[in-house]
Structure 1
Amino acid sequence: MTWRATCVECGATRAWSHPQAAGAEQCSCPAGGNLALMPPLGPAARSALLAAIADGDATHWRYAPLLPAPRPTAGGRAGIRLPVGWTPLIDCGVQGASGGGVRLLVKDETRNPSGSLKDRASDVVVAAARARGVTAFVAASTGNAAASLACIGAAAGVAITILVPATVPPAKLAQIRAYGATVRRVAGSYDDAWELAAQVARHTGLHNRSTGINPVTREGKKTCALEIAEQMGWQAPDWVVVPTGDGNILSAIWKGFCELRTLGLIGTLPRLVAAQAAASDAIARAHWGAGGAGLDPAIAVDAKSADTLADSISVSWPRDRAAALAALRDSRGLAVTVTEAEIVAGVRALASRFGLFVEPSSAAAFAAFERVARSGHFEAGQRVVCLATGTGLKDLRAVAADTDEAALVAAGDWRAVADALPLATGTGG
C-alpha cells in the first residue's frame, strides 16, 4: 500500500510517494489547501511499527514505519546522526485544588539537539528530501524552526538559508548563525518572512521547509504524540495542552494519536487545548466563533497583527489553520488565550516549581493549563500533558529583570549571605 495525501480544505485525496523537490505541496483547489499525509495503517504497518520499536532506537526514528522518509544513517559533513526525540515525559505529580486535582506531566522537548520540538520536523524533512538528492533548503521562522533546520542541516552537510523577522530574539539569531546557516532578517513580521521564503523557493529551487506548506513537517512533529502514548504504557492522556501559533504542532499531535488508535495501539483519544497568547489569537477566535464545538475547517480565519513576548507562537496568519481547527473540533478541544503577565509568571513557575526552564511560548501552555484547571474543565484524577516546546535559554526576556534583583555582597562577607538564608536552613556541624 502507498501513502495518501488529502487536502485539509476540500478533502480531495491522491496517492503520494515522496516529497516534491521544492518542498511546497498544496492542493490545486481554489483554497490551495495544505496536504495531510497518511501512511498505510493496516496489520502489516502495525507489525512493522512494533518491530521497529523493539529494535530499541532511542530517537524518533523508532517510529520509522510511520514516517515518509528512510531512517537516516550516520553520514554527512559531520559524520553523525543527531539524537532527535525520545525526550522525557516528566511526572510533576498530582496538582492541588488550584490545579484541578489532575496529574500534570510535561513533555520536555527542550532536550532535543537544538533545544526545541521543531527538530522532529526538520530531521524528517531533511531525511526525506536528501533521499531525493536535495542539498539546499530554505525556511521562514520566528526562530525555533530556523535554529532547528540549521542544526540538522549542519550535521547532514546540506546548505541552509534562513529568513527570520527583524524582531527575532538575539539568542535565537546567534544560535542560528553558530550552526553556519545563511541568515537574513526580514524587515517585517514572521508572516512577511514566510511569504518571502515561498518566493525564494519558487525562484531558486531551494527546498522549502516552512510550516504548513511542507506537509512532511507535520509527520515529524507527530512523533511527539507517539512517544507520549508509548511512555504512558500505550495509553493516551486525557488532555494535551499545546502552545499554538501556526497550528502545525496542534494538528500533528492529534494526527499521531489518531494513527495509533487506528493501529489499535491505544483505545482512547485525548482532548486538546490550544494555548495562544492573547496578542496572537487567530485560531482561538475562529474556534470561539464557531461556538467552540463544530467548525468547517474552510471557515475564514481573520488575520490579526501579532505582538507577544511568546515569539514562537507570534503569528498573524496561521499557516496550518484548517488542520488545527479540525483537530480542535474533532478532539472536542478548547482554545485558551493567556496574557503576557501570565506567560512571564508561567516561565518562573515552571522553573521554580519543577526545575524546567522554558521559553515564553512553552510557558503559555502552562498558563493555559492553569486557566483550564480553574475553569473546572479538568476532572480530578485525569492526566494532563503540557508540551514544553523550547528551552528558556533561547529567549531570556521573560526573566531578564531577575538579574537586577540579585543583591551584591562584598567578597568574604559571609554574614551578608547567611542573613538572607531561609530560617529553616541548618547550620551544619
Structure 2
Amino acid sequence: MDHVDSLVCTLCGAEYDPDQVIYTCPNHPGVKGILEVTYDYDRVLDRFDEPLDGAIGSQWKYRAFLPVDDDVEPVTLGEGGTPLLEAPRLGAELDVDLRVKDDGRNPTGVLKDRATAISLTKAREFGLDVVTCASTGNAAASLAGFSARGGFDCRLFVPGDAPEGKLAQPLVYGADVLGVRGSYDEAYDLSMAVTERFGWYNRNAAVNPFQVEGKRTVGHELAEQTREEIPDWVVFSMGDGCTIAGGWKGFREFADLDLVEETPRMLGVQAEGASAIHDAFHDHDDADEVADTVADSISVGRPRNAVKACSALEESGGESILVSDEEVLAAESLLGRTEGIYAEPAGAAPVAGLRKAREAGIVEAGDSVVVVVTGTGLKDTRSAMRAGGEVTAIDPAIDDVVERYGDAD
C-alpha cells in the first residue's frame, strides 16, 4: 500500500503503521484516540485513471483511493454506484432544488455496505477469519452478508430492542447473532471486550479506521455525479458520526485534487433523543448519553466519531440540526409519497432535517440540495406502518369502492 502513508491519531497526532491491526491510539484511554488514514495523493493520482463520466458500476471504481493492498481480492457484492435521483415534487414542497442519493440500493440495503466491503477486504489482507461488530441492525446485516460472501465466521452483538426485520437478514446470512440485554452502547462495549479477548476483527465503524474510508466513496460518487452542478448542501443523518465524516472526506479529496471545482456545505441531522454530536458542535454541556429514538440506526448515546463529524461540519461551513421522532416519521411518509423512495427512519431523517433547516432559514429558498438516504424502509416495516397509516378495510363488494371513490363517469 505505497499510496497509504499512516494512521494518525486525531487527538495527539501520533502515527502508526497502516499494515497492522490497530483500532485506536493507545495514548488515550477507551476509544477516544480515533485514527485517521492518510494518503500520498501524488501516488493516488498516479493510480487513478478512471474517467469521471458519471458511469459508476461500484465503489471499486475508486480503488486507487482505498486503503487496500493491490494483491488482495476484494470482498464485494457490488456495493456503491447508487443513483442520484432528481426529486422535483419533494423539492417543490420544500422550495429547494433537490436531488436524492438513494444508498438504500446497496446489496444489504444500507450505505454501511461500502464500509463493510473495505473492512472485510482488510480482514482478508490481515489473514483473519472471524469478524464481529455491535449494531442496532444495519451493520449486523451488512457484516453478515459480506461475511457469507467472503467465507468469514461472523459473530454479532445487537441490543435487545433491535428491529426484527433487521435481525432476519444476519440470521439468513448464517451469522451468530447475540441479543444483548441492554442498550446499543452496552452491546458496543461488549464487542470491544471480546475483540480484545479473542482477537476477532472488529468492524465497528467508529473505531476501525478503515471503515470510514469505505464510507467516503459516497462522497467520491457525489462529487462525480454532481460535477457539473455542485450542490449548496449535502444532508446526512448522524449516529456515530462516521458517515458524514466519510462523505465529507471523499468530496473534499476530489476538490483538493482539482477533480471538481468546489465543495458543498454539510448539514448533519440528529434525532432529539440522540443528540450528542449536535450538542458537541454547538458547545452544549448537557448532553444525555442515553439514546432514545425511533431512528434506531442513529440511536447512539456515546458517538465515538464525534470529532470527525464535527470537523466535517466545521470545515465545510455546515450546520447541524435536531428533529423529533414525529418529524422523522412524517418525512418518511413525505419522501415515499412524493418521490417513491422508501427509506427507514434514519434514512428519512435528512428530509426531516432539511425541512426544519428551511423553516429556520439555515437552507435558503432555491438552494441546491442533495439528501442522502442511508437505508431502505424494508429494514423497519413497523416504523413504516406508523409513518404510512392504516390499511383501509372494505368488504369484497363494488359498492364499498364506489362509496370511497365515487362512481365512474
* Correspondent of 1:375 among 335, 348, 360: 360
Greater CA drift, 380-389 or 160-169: 380-389
TM-score, with length taken from structure 2 = 0.92
Specify the alignment match of 1:88 in structure 2: 83
Identity %: 36
Contact 1:277 1:310 in 2 (8 A): yes
Matched, 1:157 2:155: no
Contact 1:229 1:237 in 2 (8 A): no
In 1, distance between residues paired with 2:367 and 2:287? 34
Matched, 1:417 2:401: yes
The 3 A distance-change label for structure 1 pair 346 and 249 is same
Specify the alignment match of 1:214 in structure 2: 208
In 2, distance between residues paired with 1:226 and 1:267? 13
Matched, 1:393 2:378: yes
Q: Can you list the C-alpha shifts for 1:114-172, whole angstroms capped at 9, x where unaligned?
A: 00000000001101220221111010011111100001111111111110001100111
In 2, distance between residues paired with 1:311 and 1:57? 30
In 1, distance between residues paired with 2:386 and 2:244? 32
Q: Can you list the C-alpha shifts for 1:354-413, whole angstroms capped at 9, x where unaligned?
A: 1011111111111000011112222344221111101111112223247873232233x2
Query: How far is 1:301 from its partner?
Result: 8.9
Specify the alignment match of 1:10 in structure 2: 12
Contact 2:134 2:204 in 1 (8 A): yes
Greater CA drift, 33-42 or 163-172: 33-42
Matched, 1:360 2:354: no
Specify the alignment match of 1:350 in structure 2: 335
1:22-421 alignment to 2 at 5 Å?
24-30=22-28, 32-42=32-42, 44-51=43-50, 58-70=57-69, 81-93=76-88, 99=94, 101-233=95-227, 236-289=230-283, 302-401=287-386, 405-411=390-396, 413-421=397-405
In 2, distance between residues paired with 1:398 and 1:49? 42
Ranges in structure 2 where 5+ consecutive residues have no aligned partner? none
Query: How far is 1:416 from its partner?
Result: 1.7
Ranges in structure 1 where 5+ consecutive residues have no aligned partner? 291-299
In 2, distance between residues paired with 1:240 and 1:403? 26
In 1, distance between residues paired with 2:258 and 2:92? 35
Query: How far is 1:333 from its partner?
Result: 1.4
SS at 1:126's partner residue?
A: helix
The 3 A distance-change label for structure 1 pair 55 and 61 is farther
Q: Can you list the C-alpha shifts for 1:84-105, whole angstroms capped at 9, x where unaligned?
A: 0000011102766762x32111
Letter in 1 for 2:401: V
The 3 A distance-change label for structure 1 pair 367 and 19 is farther
Q: Can you list the C-alpha shifts for 1:301-352, whole angstroms capped at 9, x where unaligned?
A: 9452111100000011001111111111211211111011101101111111
Q: Which runs of 4+ in 1 moved over 4 A?
A: 52-57, 70-76, 94-98, 300-303, 401-404
Specify the alignment match of 1:296 in structure 2: none
Letter in 2 for 1:418: V
Letter in 1 for 2:399: R
TM-score, with length taken from structure 1 = 0.88
In 1, distance between residues paired with 2:340 and 2:385? 18
Query: How far is 1:274 from its partner?
Result: 1.1
The 3 A distance-change label for structure 1 pair 328 and 404 is closer
Contact 1:56 1:62 in 2 (8 A): no
Query: How far is 1:418 from its partner?
Result: 3.4
